[in-house]
Amino acid sequence: MKKTTTRLADGRELVHYDARDDAVRDAVDRRPLEPTTTASEIRHDPLLDEWVAVASHRQTRTYHPPADECPLCPSRDGRHSEIPASDYDVVVFENRFPSLTGGPGARTAEDPGGLLAHRPGAGRCEVVCFTPDHDASFADLTPDQARLVLDAWTDRTAELCQLPGVRQVFCFENRGPEIGVTLSHPHGQIYAYPFTTPRTDRMLHSVAAHRGRTGRNLFDDVLAAERADGNRLVITGDHWTAFVPHAAHWPYEVHLYPNRRVPDLLGLDEAARAEFPHIYLELLRRFDRIFGTGEPPTPYIAAWHQAPVGHEHRRDFALHLELFTIRRTSGKLKFLAGSESGMNVFINDVPPEAAAARLREIATPGYDSRHTARPQ
């Protein structure tokens, strides 16, 4: 992998990740852009002990542009986009409309009021363009292309973890207008948060409690229990296991764990990195077949859970990817209504065992049977 770093016309960083070492990336962004103006703030909710980001400048972000005006396509035929090159492999750049923004200079002490604490939303938000093909999706990538994306995620995690004030790095992809995606070009995002996210905090609390009760690691025990039960396994590889969790929140939800626990993407060894593209691409292709032919592409969220930076229990955390769709059946979405949104109590319409059986049933023809799990 070759990495080339440059700047856009308004000063934002852009990084090319190329499969070929001889790739030359010297194109200049010639757009007459003014420096971006952002005003992100985070406010503390004392009842839930959570931080909420307020970013009013995002109201003006690009919204469903026509394909010939896509800002994530390469710059061609006199049309200038966010990528000042006629082609690319994988590109990462600072979001023009970030939810979190600013460096350490933007950090100030919290207001002493206690219950109304707030501070600048210092952090970083990046866009990851998986392919120059506007009409493709991640599932259309080759294993080599998917591996390059994994390497880019890993490199960005390493870079962002070093920024002052960053406490957690989150790589994710939103796919589909039903999710709220406003740019249809295949892409993902990376958030560098100035705090540990509530979801991760809660998992770490459970991990510590389990360690205190049993002396064992909770992530290891959950993975072992799912593999022993077998009914919710979807794909098992030499280095990865994909399963529908016993208490899945979403109609079709899969967790993908490396078989050897590591806290983040940087901890993966070469064997796990080499196997990941084959298993992940197969999962995404199955997701597109869940509801049969003739259906629009399955909307999904793919989220990497990584250990917080410098956390005392980070080595007890297990890197894993969560993949889920908000579609519950053909033509129907799973809405987060009263119980889910009001009380955070999920009600799942699809039994996890049935979801896993469906995902096994629609394996790609010819997919290596050694990696296709069957219930015991």
Give the Cα separation of 133 and 73 in Å (integer): 7
Give CA separation, 43 vs 14, 110, 146, 169, 346, in Å: 29, 10, 37, 19, 26
Q: Which residues pair with 366 in a beta bridge?
A: none
Judge contact between 12 and 93, C-beta under 8 A: yes
Give the Cα separation of 171 and 181 in Å (integer): 16
Q: Which residues contact 220 (CB under 8 A, 6 or more apart)?
A: 261, 318
187 an active-site residue? yes
| Annotated catalytic residue, options 16, 187, 255, 320 | 187
Shortest CA distance to 360 belongs to which of 235, 223, 225? Answer: 235
Q: Summarize the chain as % helix, strand, coil (round to 5).
A: 30, 25, 50
Give the Cα separation of 178 and 324 in Å (integer): 13
Residues labelled catalytic: 187
